[in-house]
Structure 1
Amino acid sequence: MSETKEQVFDINLFKRLLLYIKPYSKVFVGVIVAVILIAVSGAVRPKILQLAIDNNIATKTIEGFFPYIVIMAVMLFLEVIFQLLFIFYSGWLGQNVVKDVRVKLFNHLLRFKMQYYDNSSVGVLITRAVTDMERIADIFGQGLFTIFRDLLTMIVVSIFMLFMNWKLSFIVFIMLPVVLYATRIFQKYMKKAFEEVRTEVSNLNSFVQERITGMKILQLFTREDTEYEKFKEINERHKKGWLKTVWYNSIFFPIAELATSITIGLVAWYGGLNVVLSETASEGDLVSFIMFIPMLFRPLRQIADNFNTLQMGMVAANRVFKVLETTSQIDDSGTLKASSFKGNISFKKVYFNYVEDESVLKGISFEVKSGETVAIVGATGAGKSTIINLLNRFYEIKDGVIEIDGINIKDFTLASLRTQIAVVLQDVFLFADTIVSNITLNNPEITEAHVIEAAKNIGIHDFISSLPGGYHYNVKERGVMLSSGQRQLIAFLRAYVTNPSILVLDEATSSVDSYSEHLIQIATDKITKGRTSIIIAHRLATVKKADKIIVMDSGLIVEQGTHDELLQKQDGYYKNLYEVQFLKEEEV
């Protein structure tokens, strides 16, 4: 267990949170002032009542009684106003802090390496960005300031009690350590319980998110009952985690209530005897102390309850800050801004692995000249897609150099490099938005007129126009309203409108209809014309048209050349691949 988890309250973590309050320091000070006024006004009321009883009620004197009533009414009114300001602005402060932290977290997530997402659960990250953020807001709205208010109220009440009657105060203070000790134990166990709850919430979110995303697979393989049973197990652990918190609450709060009742009973007994026998306490003292005791003990119980909220927020903050502390960004120390490329690409003895000691690329070297179309072929797992990932610097290479126009790609700023390289992946991702928004990705420099013109140029304008709403047709989440071929066409247009210097295509068409494949072929020919293109080839037509073919196997380049050159090699890898795969396609 980490040090943070062992501590009941992590002061260093709390200091980090307080840094986000600086822009709202005036509101913070205002809330603190409201807290002080609430504590003072609350403690003054029993004192006023004590004076009214001793000076007027006990002596049956009406003179001077009315001012006490007016003062009491004013104090009540002011306390209501202070409470209103406290509740609103503490909540306002919490939401503004969370807004700032959430924006910083999302900005941090946007710049992580792909490798981070390869090893992370989407559901857990969603929990960090959404659910955990609300818990952090509660630190300020229901935790920190409320605890401070209750502590201050206890201190002020204790001071009033001591000045009014130290003997009765002594009885109250005897019981106080019992409740304090119970509160300490309660906080310790609640801390562990909330750690468990947050873990199970993350597991639950992750499980549900993945199953909903992959629902088609579950139903296709009839795994509904199996996943239902798994969900029941996770939900059961989540329930047990929460029941621990309920159990600790059910023990602590009755004990605290019992201590309050016993204290009131002792004060009534001892104070009553003093009033009757020794007259060392007045009737006003007795009544005011009976009011003071709940004001002293109730905040203590509330502190324990609000400490739960604070603990949940601190646990959530700890998890969020761990993500913020994660340094998984691609090095972006390059200073050159690429306004355009000629398109000369060079891989020089490039080594790469996704997992340590499991090489994916084993010192490959090749060159692509400006304007060339190069096809990369090979078996699954040969390393073809990895070349795409490395050219865009989604991952860092282990050794070697990748150059564009003779310059190491690390010398370019990451944004300018990726702006000049357009990628069309086999697995096309579309957002739940309109077609035009998915194409422009809300880039203000790309107008709808530009999109329409580009669609006409590559021959897919008629297809888009035939959809309900045309370019404003909402494709829904992940583009489910379109076929795989239609999604591929949208991806081609998205790449084309950026007018890239280099084009990279994973042009798989195994699952598309013949009409979409025909349009894809036209689009491919159009957008590759006159620019450097690297294509992971799946179709014979692309392979034949390529200026050069790179043949890969197990992370190595085993052959290079044109289609005709490679077919001349006896027992060549490409020749065998052609005869097994491409020749069948040609016959069809």
Structure 2
Amino acid sequence: MARNKYDVDEDLEIEFSWEYTKRLLAYVKPYKKEMIITLIIMIIASIASLLSPYLVKIAMDTSIPNKDIKGLIGVCALILLTIVIGAACMVYKIKTMTYVGQSVIKNIRTDIFNHLQRLPFSYYDDKPHGKILVRVVNYVNSLSDLLSNGLINLVTDLLSIFVIIGFMLAINVKLTIVCMLGLPFLILVVGLLKKVQRRTTQIFSNKQSNLNAYIQESISGMKVTQAFTREKTNAEKFRKVSDENRSTWMTAVRYQMLLWPAIDNISVITISFVYLIGVSSIGNGITIGTLIAFVGYIWRFWNPIVNISNFYNTLIMAMAYLERIFETLDEPVDIDNLPGAYKMPNINGHVEFKDIVFKYDDDGREILKKVSFEVKPGENIALVGPTGAGKTTIINLLSRFYDVYSGEVLVDGNNVRNVTLDSLRKQMGVMLQDTFIFSGTIMDNIRYGKLDATDEEIIRAAKAVKAHDFIVTLKDGYYTEVNERGSRLSVGQRQLISFARALLADPKILILDEATSSIDTKTEEALQIGLDRLLKGRTSFVIAHRLSTIKNATRIMVINNGQIVEQGNHDELMELKGEYYELYSSQYDMIKAI
């Protein structure tokens, strides 16, 4: 299914299972001490509140008829005490369970974030980032009420129901049986609504995900939107996805709300029968105090049932989100340390590709077709060719951002699949085509390549790539705050900072994907001097469309249609007068014409 669109609903690929509840409870388990204490306190509060109707019965049937003022004052004092106990217990419950609920949410969100960092590039290729973000933030937040109040309230309400039934049986068995006659009808209603409630909630979660994806996409592309005056068109698209979000929410709520009037009607009918039978039986084994006490209990009987129905609605909503959360947590980490993976020794930079075949899907087209080559330590390899030929795929396989379909990628004789990812990537400096600048200072952005680097090392790396000259002209120099993605910097400045970041780690293998594509000619000339010095002694792979930047490469490989069609140094390929000659000549003629 094409999932990489904001207007395509995501089908849930796993069936509902109560295992999700068990997994959720595993997050709650570390806080079982707080849960048990809170539960005991709430049981005490529940019992205290349930004494009130019985105390009213004593007042009505004993204290008032006997004009026992002391006894009446004592009963009133006990009722007041139950209110105070209930309020104190409620304060403790709110404080403790809010802490527990938010702690569980933090732990779930942390697990999702850590898991997302381990997922392969292919996961992000297939899914809009907004649909990922909604799972980490909105869906996890939706569990807040369930975790903060729902679980404790459920247990407390269930216990309350049994205690209330005990009190009612002690008062009058016949009226208790009448009160219980409404429960079968309630169970029938819940059974009928269960499936449709879950489905409508799932549909709403899809539309909420779509809305989030479109908002994220629109914000990321706002400059393009304004440049092409697409505001009205985008506003219409937003209105459509927003209307779908509202419509599905209203449908989900409509089915959720059906449970409340059902309970209300059943309870009112039941209570009416109790009144009818109770009033007609006064003086025949039932006193006025008994009837008032029983009615007090019957209202308390239906109150926890209403609470449980609210919990049920919350659970149905939460389960729809929980399914998405655990679907994300269960997303396979295709690129991971294999069993028995060992730490990559300090590398010299010898690289070998043996009969590499790569494709994104088993039934997809081959991106690389039996590619083989060998690179000796210290060689500077340039990869050139048309867009989509497979150049970036080669360096992605070397860094093991993707796994080969067949064949072997070797570094110093070690298959990259047999070594740990950290030990492999820490010895490589990678500057991808998509330059990313994080929010923070320029110093922090360069230090991202080596977290323990000193300020002097950072400045030295910046000078080497000719980034120092523009950095010192900024208001706060290296401590200038930049926005996410470096929006206040030019594209060329962002590339220079990213280049300094890659070089700071002093890698044995350096990978540059279009590293100089957005740097002006003057800067490029200065940068080339630094590059020649920095590339010396390390194996490097450079992808460049601007062929003038790779004339001094040890070897140039021309990639086309997933194969190496030509290779050699600049002079050799120019003499060959093949594809490289045509590419270089066409660029030269274009520059000359300008």
CA distance in 1, matches of 2:292, 2:30: 46
Write the deviation string for residues 19-63 of structure 1: whole angstroms up to 9, x where unpaired. 112222211211221332233222222112212221112333324
1:282 pairs with one of 268, 279, 287: 287
In the alignment, structure 1 residue 341 sits paired with structure 2 residue 347: yes
Aligned residues: 582
How far 1:583 moved relative to its partner? 5.0
In the alignment, structure 1 residue 142 sits paired with structure 2 residue 154: no
Q: How does 1:146-165 map onto structure 2 within 5 Å?
A: 146-165=153-172
How far 1:339 moved relative to its partner? 5.2
Q: Per the alignment, do residues 338 and 174 of structure 1 end up closer, same or farther by CA in structure 2, a change over 3 Å counting?
A: closer
Q: How does 1:47-446 map onto structure 2 within 5 Å?
A: 47-275=54-282, 277-278=283-284, 280-333=285-338, 335-338=341-344, 340-355=346-361, 356-441=363-448, 443-446=450-453
CA contact 1:454–1:497 (8 Å) conserved in 2: yes
Write the deviation string for residues 203-232 of structure 1: whole angstroms up to 9, x where unpaired. 111111111111222333333222222222
CA distance in 2, matches of 1:58, 1:203: 68
Write the deviation string for residues 337-393 of structure 1: whole angstroms up to 9, x where unpaired. 335321111111111112433011101111221111111111111111111111100
How far 1:188 moved relative to its partner? 4.1
Q: Per the alignment, do residues 496 and 250 of structure 1 end up closer, same or farther by CA in structure 2, a change over 3 Å counting?
A: closer
Write the deviation string for residues 220-260 of structure 1: whole angstroms up to 9, x where unpaired. 33332222222222111211112123323554433433333
Aligned to 1:491: 498
Q: Per the alignment, do residues 537 and 253 of structure 1 end up closer, same or farther by CA in structure 2, a change over 3 Å counting?
A: closer
Q: Residue type of the partner of 1:172?
A: C
SS of corresponding position for 2:474 = coil
- Which consecutive residues of structure 2, in runs of 5 or more, have no partner in the other structure? 1-10
SS of corresponding position for 1:400 = strand
How far 1:438 moved relative to its partner? 1.2
Write the deviation string for residues 397-439 of structure 1: whole angstroms up to 9, x where unpaired. 0111111122222232110110111111222111122111111
Write the deviation string for residues 295-332 of structure 1: whole angstroms up to 9, x where unpaired. 11122222222221122222212111111111133131
CA contact 2:515–2:544 (8 Å) conserved in 1: yes
Q: Residue type of the partner of 1:373?
A: N
CA distance in 2, matches of 1:185, 1:150: 23
CA distance in 1, matches of 2:39, 2:79: 23
Q: Per the alignment, do residues 38 and 329 of structure 1 end up closer, same or farther by CA in structure 2, a change over 3 Å counting?
A: farther
RMSD, matched Cα: 2.2
In the alignment, structure 1 residue 33 sits paired with structure 2 residue 40: yes
- Which consecutive residues of structure 1, in runs of 5 or more, have no partner in the other structure? none
Q: How does 1:408-557 map onto structure 2 within 5 Å?
A: 408-441=415-448, 443-507=450-514, 509-557=516-564
Q: Per the alignment, do residues 177 and 444 of structure 1 end up closer, same or farther by CA in structure 2, a change over 3 Å counting?
A: same
CA distance in 2, matches of 1:369, 1:442: 25
CA contact 2:427–2:508 (8 Å) conserved in 1: yes
CA contact 1:139–1:314 (8 Å) conserved in 2: no
CA distance in 2, matches of 1:213, 1:24: 40
CA distance in 1, matches of 2:190, 2:545: 68
- % identity of equivalent residues: 38
SS of corresponding position for 1:545 = coil
CA contact 2:352–2:374 (8 Å) conserved in 1: yes
How far 1:586 moved relative to its partner? 6.5
Q: Residue type of the partner of 2:352?
A: S
Q: Residue type of the partner of 2:484?
A: E
CA contact 2:150–2:311 (8 Å) conserved in 1: yes
CA distance in 1, matches of 2:12, 2:366: 34
Q: Residue type of the partner of 1:134?
A: N
Q: Provide TM-score, normalisation by structure 1.
A: 0.93
Q: Residue type of the partner of 1:312?
A: M
CA contact 1:485–1:516 (8 Å) conserved in 2: no
SS of corresponding position for 1:552 = strand
CA distance in 2, matches of 1:435, 1:24: 42
How far 1:515 moved relative to its partner? 4.1
Q: Per the alignment, do residues 352 and 188 of structure 1 end up closer, same or farther by CA in structure 2, a change over 3 Å counting?
A: closer
Q: Per the alignment, do residues 519 and 126 of structure 1 end up closer, same or farther by CA in structure 2, a change over 3 Å counting?
A: farther
Q: Per the alignment, do residues 540 and 325 of structure 1 end up closer, same or farther by CA in structure 2, a change over 3 Å counting?
A: closer
Aligned to 2:586: 580
How far 1:508 moved relative to its partner? 5.1
Aligned to 2:7: none
Which 10-residue stretch deviates more, 358-367 or 94-103?
A: 94-103
CA contact 1:351–1:362 (8 Å) conserved in 2: yes
How far 1:524 moved relative to its partner? 2.6
